[in-house]
Each structure stands twice: as structure tokens, then as C-alpha cells.
Amino acid sequence: MLHITLINIMKKKKTGKYLFNKKELWDFVWRFTLSIIVVIVFIRIFIYPERAMIKEYRKKLTNSHCVTKAFINATNPRDNTIYYEFVVNGNKYSGISRYSLSNSPYPREGDSIEVYYSEDDPNVNLWRGEFSE
């Protein structure tokens, strides 16, 4: 589509001069700009908050943390995300972490993993693998 649009904008007339149809040019620029804006908004809304949370948790848990065993209840291989649950003092907590494709074997649903969590607030937790990268 992009290739065809560019050809239509830049095609030569029979006289040998370039044809710059302003309507087609502005239409192309508008669509291109709009698609860039949509991608940026998508990244900011859906991906950035999760990464910011992981970064903040990693910073908090680097200095002091407790360790417990958790079980993976779901994975998302598309974005290398694991979802896990663990129990502390009879309360069930859940967490989300990412894994690297360079460190196989990859975590799978049902696997047990070690999780670091904050003693003050177990909702602040990350898979131990977040600290080995």
C-alpha cells in the first residue's frame, strides 16, 4: 500500500515533469503520522506501565527481600511473560514477571519458581530470574 501510494505521488506526467498531487501527498503524510501516533499511544498505554512496575519492584527488592516458592499458573510466550501465585502467612498473592529467550529452559505453566517479595508488602514481588539478567 505504501509503495503504491508513493508511486502515485511521484509518477511522471507525459511532459516529463514530476506530478505532486497535493491531495495525495497530504493524505499519505496524514496516514503515516496517524499510524506513528497510534503505535506510540499503544506502547505507552499497554506496555510501559508493566515495565515501569517491574523496574520499580526490582529496585525495591534489591536491598531487602524474602524468598518463597511460587507456582506458574499462566504464561504468554508472545511477550515472554509469566503469571504466578504464592502463599505468605496463609494469604495468596500473585505476580507477573518476564523471562529472557536467551535463558532456556523457559518457565512453563505448572512449574515452581522462587519469588522474591517484600516482607512489608508481599504484593511487591518478582521472579528470581528478573535479577539474574
- Kind of pairing between the strands at 81-88 and 112-117: unpaired
Residue 1 has pLDDT above 80, yes or no: no
Residue type at 71? F
Selected from 2.10.25, 2.40.50, 2.40.170, 2.60.40, the CATH number assigned to the domain covering 48-131 reads 2.40.50
Query: Are the beta carbons of 113 and 107 closer than 8 angstroms?
Result: yes
Confidence of residue 133 (pLDDT cuts 50, 70, 90): very low
Residue 50 has pLDDT above 90, yes or no: no
Q: Take residue 21 and report the three cell numbers written for it.
A: 498531487
| pLDDT for residue 122 | 93
Q: Which pTM value belongs to this model? A: 0.60
Average pLDDT, the chain: 80
Name the most confidently modeled range: 1-10, 11-20, 49-58. 49-58
Q: What is the pLDDT of residues 54-68, one digit of tens each?
A: 888 888 888 888 999
pLDDT (mean) for 30-53: 83
Sheet holding 91-98, edge to edge: 91-98, 81-88, 66-76, 112-117, 125-127
The residue length of the chain stands at 133
